[in-house]
Amino acid sequence: MQSNIIETTTNYFTDIPKIKYEGAGSRNPFAFKHYNPEEYIGGKSMREHLRFAVSYWHTMRGAGADPFGEGTASMPWDDHSNSVENAQKRARVFFEFLEKIDADYYCFHDRDIAPELNDLAASNKALDAVVATLKEEQARTGKKLLWGTACLFTHKRYMHGAGTSCSADAFAYGASQVKKAMEVTHELGGEGYVFWGGREGYSTLLNTDMKRELDHLAKLLHMAVDYKKEIGFEGQFYIEPKPKEPTTHQYDTDSATCLNFLREYDLLDHFKLNIETNHATLAGHTMQHELRVAASANALGSIDANTGDPLLGWDTDQFPTDIYLTTHTMLEVLRMGGLTTGGLNFDAKKRRESFEPVDLFHAHIGGMDAFARGLKIAHAILEDGRLADFVKNRYSTWDSGIGQKIEAGTVSFADLEKYTLEKGEVKLESGRQEMLENLINEYI
């Protein structure tokens, strides 16, 4: 046996070596040029900083279909049946991929890993059988579950939503799915659990009782919090904001909207946010903005690392390759002290035209290298200190005198009027945006 062939239970990627770091000078498409897992950057290995996860739904279930055309993806391991055996085999192939790409984590929805069958009992049984396989593969490889979730958006029973459905029976079905998905996430040692409200929104207000729907969504989340305690699951709960798609208006539009919802319904202690790049841009924000809003509320938990196409207005879920994006993302992550329970989950799919299994490698290598560079650049910018110093100095009028008194809450309107009458016109300094943009470019 060749030394680069790993012991796996399946052999679908035998032509591809285990992906290793070869350095920036390498021209080998099957090597990392920047992601060097054991290299230390500011006291932590790149592996610990980046916590890469592969998403099961795209990598194993992404068929490459679009609204105009059928699936294109070649998956020689898959018999395209709804059988549990097929799902179990797929799970083993997935771990073969995880080992070769050297990603430490994965994420799934219940219905990605196991088939939805005729009723809940049969679906739960199928899920248990696949979870047993995943457990074996985790033990064999040491790979870990970053987060699990329940798919409450594909089946037609959720056409009106799940937690926000007009039907209490649809709510009950969804809650049952969440219960089971939490149990299997716990069983697999998952470090988190995500709620993305796939169809929690509306298409028209003409038929919608918005207040009642939001109250119900909060009920679902409170029940999940209670159940978490009941089963002793200690993973982190996340809400994933998205403004539209598939509904016209989704209730979890952006970071600020989610935080407001969590505060209003007394859930903020139990949830952090899982921020996705393409969702941020669909909301008309930069990723940096969404991350900063979450981090400012001490609620930045995890990241769905992808990107949209600037020329298309929908959720294209592409692999991130833009170094400015990864730099800004890692600046926000490092500033908040790094990821703890969360990670960088590639909620991304290869293009429909990239239909071969080998394209999964090119896609993930590119995303991992782009984030490794973003990490190194962000670390260097923070070490340099000029950016942070500039921001600190920009607010220096708040560090003493009247500013300090306003912050301390010891002055009134009358005091400020007196102060202004004595002081006269305000003297300001430049924001120096262009200089700071140049500073970032010094490092990119």
3-state secondary structure of 142: coil
Residue 8 vs 149, nearer CB to Co ion: 149
Contact assessment for residue 21 and residue 35, using Cβ atoms and an 8 Å cutoff: yes
The CA-atom distances, in angstroms, between 385 and each of 75, 332, 399, 400 are 48, 15, 19, 22
In 3D space, the residue among 261, 208, 210, 219 whose CA is nearest the CA of residue 239 turns out to be: 261
Of ligand XUL, Co ion, none, which one does residue 242 interact with (CB within 5 to 8 Å by kind)?
ligand XUL
Q: Which of 49, 58, 109, 285 is catalytic?
A: 109
Residue 222 vs 244, nearer CB to ligand XUL: 244
Contact assessment for residue 94 and residue 60, using Cβ atoms and an 8 Å cutoff: yes
Which is it for strands 300-304 and 344-346: parallel, antiparallel or unpaired? parallel
In 3D space, the residue among 340, 323, 275, 312 whose CA is nearest the CA of residue 440 turns out to be: 323
3-state secondary structure of 381: helix
Residue 33 vs 242, nearer CB to ligand XUL: 242
CB 265 to Co ion: min, Å: 22
Contact assessment for residue 56 and residue 114, using Cβ atoms and an 8 Å cutoff: no
Of Co ion, ligand XUL, none, which one does residue 315 interact with (CB within 5 to 8 Å by kind)?
ligand XUL
Contact assessment for residue 22 and residue 32, using Cβ atoms and an 8 Å cutoff: yes
Of Co ion, ligand XUL, none, which one does residue 252 interact with (CB within 5 to 8 Å by kind)?
none
3-state secondary structure of 350: coil
Of Co ion, ligand XUL, none, which one does residue 194 interact with (CB within 5 to 8 Å by kind)?
ligand XUL
Residue 196 vs 271, nearer CB to ligand XUL: 196
Q: Is 112 in the site for Co ion (CB under 5 A)?
A: no
Residue 138 vs 154, nearer CB to ligand XUL: 154
CB 379 to ligand XUL: min, Å: 27
Q: Per the structure block, which two tokens stand in for 311?
A: 């020329």
The question of whether 112 is a catalytic residue gets the answer yes
Which residue is closest to ligand XUL by CB?
A: 196
Instruction: Show the binding pattern over residues 315-354: x = contacts Co ion (CB under 5 A), - = does not.
Output: --------------------------------x-------
Q: How many CB atoms lie within 10 A of CB 400?
A: 9
Q: Is 254 in the site for Co ion (CB under 5 A)?
A: no
CB 197 to ligand XUL: min, Å: 9
| Single-letter amino acid code for the residue at 367 | G
Residue 102 vs 304, nearer CB to Co ion: 304
Which range in 109-117, 166-174, 268-276, 362-370 contacts Co ion by CB under 5 A? 268-276
Of Co ion, ligand XUL, none, which one does residue 143 interact with (CB within 5 to 8 Å by kind)?
none
Contact assessment for residue 143 and residue 56, using Cβ atoms and an 8 Å cutoff: no
Q: Is 304 in the site for Co ion (CB under 5 A)?
A: yes
CB 253 to ligand XUL: min, Å: 13
Q: Which of 104, 110, 112, 254 is catalytic?
A: 112
Residues that bind ligand XUL (CB under 6 A): 109, 149, 194, 196, 240, 242, 276, 304, 315, 347
Cα separation of the two ends of the chain: 42
Contact assessment for residue 303 and residue 297, using Cβ atoms and an 8 Å cutoff: no
Residue 96 vs 304, nearer CB to ligand XUL: 304
CB 109 to ligand XUL: min, Å: 6
Half-sphere exposure of 276 (CA within 13 A, CB side): 28
CB 240 to ligand XUL: min, Å: 5
Please work out the total of residues on this chain that contact Co ion, with binding judged by CB under 5 A: 3
Q: Per the structure block, which two tokens stand in for 352?
A: 């429909």
Of ligand XUL, Co ion, none, which one does residue 149 interact with (CB within 5 to 8 Å by kind)?
ligand XUL
Residue showing tokens 């120096």: 432
Q: Per the structure block, which two tokens stand in for 77?
A: 């391991």
Q: Per the structure block, which two tokens stand in for 442?
A: 């010094």
CB 333 to ligand XUL: min, Å: 18
Q: Any residues with CB less than 8 A from the CB of 325 and at least 6 apart, and which?
A: 277, 287, 307, 370, 374
Positions marked active-site: 109, 112
Contacts to Co ion by CB under 5 A: 276, 304, 347
